[in-house]
Amino acid sequence: MTAERDPLAEKVIGIAIGVHRALGPGLLETAYEECFCYDLHEAGITFKRQVPLPVAYKAVKLDCAYRIDVVVE
């Protein structure tokens, strides 16, 4: 079985690796996120930042729990 390669995923992963190589380890997550989103924008890739992720508990949907840092296209 051969796995298909997703060009968008390869591009996004390449951008993430490039940001980490340029900045190095040890910074706050927000610094990496800013640079990552800048590079996504420069590459013409559509994304959203800090997307709420509700938590379902019994019959209640709680909108206060989590946020997804970056959602790509």
pLDDT in tens, 6-35: 999 999 999 999 999 999 999 999 999 999
Residue 13 domain-assigned (yes or no): yes
Residue 42 domain-assigned (yes or no): yes
Q: Could you give the number of structural domains in the chain?
A: 1
pLDDT band of residue 64 (cuts 50, 70, 90) is confident
Range(s) of the domain holding residue 54: 7-72
Residue 65 domain-assigned (yes or no): yes
Residue 2 domain-assigned (yes or no): no
| Cα Rg of the chain, angstroms | 16
Residue 38 domain-assigned (yes or no): yes
pTM: 0.84
Residue 31 domain-assigned (yes or no): yes
Q: How many CB atoms lie within 10 A of CB 40?
A: 21
Residue 21 domain-assigned (yes or no): yes
Strands 47-57, 60-72: parallel, antiparallel or unpaired by DSSP?
Answer: antiparallel
Q: What is the DSSP-derived secondary structure letter of residue 3?
A: P
Residue 24 domain-assigned (yes or no): yes
What residues are paired with 47 via a beta bridge?
72
Do residues 65 and 53 lie in contact, with contact meaning Cβ atoms separated by under 8 Å?
Answer: yes
Q: Which residues contact 33 (CB under 8 A, 6 or more apart)?
A: 49, 69, 70
pLDDT band of residue 62 (cuts 50, 70, 90) is confident
